[in-house]
Structure 1
Amino acid sequence: MKELGKISSLLINRFTANGAYLALREGGEVLLPKSYLKGEEKEGEELEVFVYTDSEDRPVAVTNRPTALLDEFAVMEAREITDFGAFMDWGLPKDLFVPKSEMGKTMEVGGKYLVMVCQDYKTNRLIGVSKYEDFILTDTQAYAAGQEVDALIFEETDLGFKTLIDGSYEGLIYKNEVFQPLKVGDKTKAFVKKRRDDGKIDLQLLPSGREKYEEGAEKILEALKVRKFLPLQDKSSPESIKELLGMSKKHFKQSIGQLYKAKKITIHEDGIRLV
């Protein structure tokens, strides 16, 4: 079935007491349960649905969109752990099953893990696979320092935060370079710091060079527009600066220097004020 695991636009063939039967492209039908109907639909109308299998392994359509489609990654929370595998929350009534043989590491209930949605061709079911390394692309030559990317935080380590870049590549944001709250499952914009020999990419949350300080200056201006005064100056502790602005002391000093030269702020012994 070509529609399995994908978002498809299917025509309504007929209605029954259980819902609407939609026509599959290669013949046959799939049920859209009554609970997903508004009551305004008509035969021949086209509906956008997601097709997967229910608890009895029968194809079923839903109007919900899961957190990931077939061959896509998402961070999912483990709802139940059994001797055979884990059941993951992916935004649908039926949880996604990750077989024990497809687990990259031991899972715990409530934990969040990077999972790819795959098709088990023996059973034609959709399953999850948390052995993400099997699917990560390593040819990162197209990435250059300073390039902006979409990053999904999927694991926190002692070194930093592992990220999925543009849905296909692995990256790392070093913990000592993070000055804002980050947690597993967060999606954020990041910038390539360097490309490593193993194909992985080091990332940073702020662009390098002058753009970095312009962004920091803008952040300080926005804070001053709300508070008019910030009890911070170049002798403030790094902890105070991080708590109020979420940036490093070096970043802060560079930014207020730009703002001062631009005559946007005045600097005093007790802090900075908006002009």
Structure 2
Amino acid sequence: MAQIGRRNSLIVLHSTPHGVYLDGGEHGEILLPNRYIPKGTSLGDSLDVFIYRDSEDRLVATTEQPFAMVGEFATLEVVSVNRNIGAFLKWGLLKDLLLPFREQAEQVYVGDKVVAYIMLDEKTDRIIATTRLNRHLSRERPPFKPAQPVPLLITARTPLGYNAIVAGTHLGLLYHTNIGAPLQVGQKINGFVSAVHPGGKIDLSLDASGYQRVASLTDRILEALKNNGGKLPYDDDSPPEVIRSHFEASKKAFKQALGALYKQRRIRFTNPGIETLDVREAKEGDWKPSGKP
């Protein structure tokens, strides 16, 4: 049976002037309008389509890809507000996604970017969004291990740091002490699990710990040098936000990695920037790492 709000592989049954009809199983035949039909499509072909309801509550198919599907979290922009029913979010399809007033944790305005969960409304069977996120996070014991890399979605700033959805399932916390530069609500970023407490709370970091962190980062720096002709404009005096943007690492971790490469005679400091050192002996007068934090 075709799943509403998800991608499905459906068989082409027959064509009409308006498009082709697909086999939706218990949902019956579902129209794929002409503008979405791939060239060369024939009866009996299997097509990868997304299923949703149109403005007249009919199930329709599209080959377009929404920014998020049912069961997923995403950062979406508010494009309009209807004072009777709620806000509408841009989500990558011709029809905008409804965020009903009852599903708004806080009032939203046109131009806002909100972190939302995509769901099926139990009453209408329509796809809607909600910013009441906690009810849709997993209550199961987190399966994560310390130092495990995980994708993060920043949901809120708190006095302690930033709340983040971990791998699309659980809520974790990034402490201010583990962040080199401010983050934005709705930002996607890669991070690491620092600890999973007995009660299920998850501590997060933007860097792996210890030698593993430094070793991985040195490899990325050397690869960046190789791809940029042996030179880079970044060093231990570069702003934290610049380092985070280019290397997904804190300034502290970046400085440790540069120090390791310098001791290995792999790089020299050019003030500003670094370059690959082709010889194992440092030359007299070479720039050395600064002592600034």
Q: Does TM, normalized by the shorter one, top 0.5?
A: yes
Deviation at 1:30, TM superposition (A): 1.0
Map 1:43-58; keep pairs closer than 5 Å.
43-58=43-58
Deviation at 1:221, TM superposition (A): 3.7
| Stretch of structure 1 that moved more, 121-130 or 190-199 | 190-199
Deviation at 1:241, TM superposition (A): 4.9
Do the aligned residues in 1 keep the contact of 2:64 with 2:93 (CA within 8 Å)? Answer: yes
- Aligned residue for 1:242? 240
Deviation at 1:49, TM superposition (A): 0.8
| Stretch of structure 1 that moved more, 91-100 or 103-112 | 103-112
Do the aligned residues in 1 keep the contact of 2:234 with 2:243 (CA within 8 Å)? Answer: no
- Aligned residue for 1:25? 25
- Aligned residue for 1:72? 72
Distance 2:70 2:167 in 1: 16
Specify whether residues 102 and 263 from structure 1 end up closer, same or farther in structure 2 by C-alpha distance, changes over 3 A only.
same
Distance 1:196 1:68 in 2: 30
Q: Which amino acid aligns with 1:79?
A: V
Do the aligned residues in 2 keep the contact of 1:232 with 1:241 (CA within 8 Å)? Answer: no
Q: Does 1:258 pair with 2:273?
A: no
Deviation at 1:47, TM superposition (A): 1.0
Distance 2:94 2:170 in 1: 30
Do the aligned residues in 1 keep the contact of 2:77 with 2:113 (CA within 8 Å)? Answer: yes
- Aligned residue for 1:135? 136
- Aligned residue for 1:118? 119
Specify whether residues 18 and 248 from structure 1 end up closer, same or farther in structure 2 by C-alpha distance, changes over 3 A only.
closer
Deviation at 1:270, TM superposition (A): 7.7
- Aligned residue for 1:81? 81
Specify whether residues 85 and 200 from structure 1 end up closer, same or farther in structure 2 by C-alpha distance, changes over 3 A only.
farther
Q: How many residues align?
A: 270
Do the aligned residues in 2 keep the contact of 1:73 with 1:117 (CA within 8 Å)? Answer: yes
Q: Does 1:100 pair with 2:101?
A: yes
Deviation at 1:242, TM superposition (A): 2.6
Distance 1:243 1:77 in 2: 24
Distance 1:229 1:128 in 2: 43
Which stretches in structure 1 are left out of the alignment for 5+ residues?
none
Q: Which amino acid aligns with 1:258?
A: A
Specify whether residues 53 and 244 from structure 1 end up closer, same or farther in structure 2 by C-alpha distance, changes over 3 A only.
closer
Q: RMSD of the TM alignment (CA)? A: 2.9
Specify whether residues 143 and 20 from structure 1 end up closer, same or farther in structure 2 by C-alpha distance, changes over 3 A only.
same
- Aligned residue for 2:281? none
Specify whether residues 111 and 197 from structure 1 end up closer, same or farther in structure 2 by C-alpha distance, changes over 3 A only.
farther
Distance 1:76 1:255 in 2: 36
Q: TM-score, normalised by structure 2?
A: 0.79
Do the aligned residues in 2 keep the contact of 1:76 with 1:89 (CA within 8 Å)? Answer: yes
Deviation at 1:222, TM superposition (A): 4.9
Distance 2:40 2:231 in 1: 54
Distance 2:273 2:50 in 1: 55
Distance 2:162 2:240 in 1: 18
Q: Which amino acid aligns with 2:20?
A: A
Specify whether residues 107 and 199 from structure 1 end up closer, same or farther in structure 2 by C-alpha distance, changes over 3 A only.
farther
Specify whether residues 160 and 15 from structure 1 end up closer, same or farther in structure 2 by C-alpha distance, changes over 3 A only.
same
Specify whether residues 105 and 218 from structure 1 end up closer, same or farther in structure 2 by C-alpha distance, changes over 3 A only.
same
Do the aligned residues in 2 keep the contact of 1:8 with 1:48 (CA within 8 Å)? Answer: yes
Specify whether residues 229 and 98 from structure 1 end up closer, same or farther in structure 2 by C-alpha distance, changes over 3 A only.
closer
Q: Which amino acid aligns with 2:68?
A: A
- Aligned residue for 2:203? 202
Deviations 1:186-237 (A, max 9, x none): 433211112246533221111001011223434544565546476856xx5x
Specify whether residues 182 and 223 from structure 1 end up closer, same or farther in structure 2 by C-alpha distance, changes over 3 A only.
farther
Do the aligned residues in 2 keep the contact of 1:229 with 1:274 (CA within 8 Å)? Answer: no
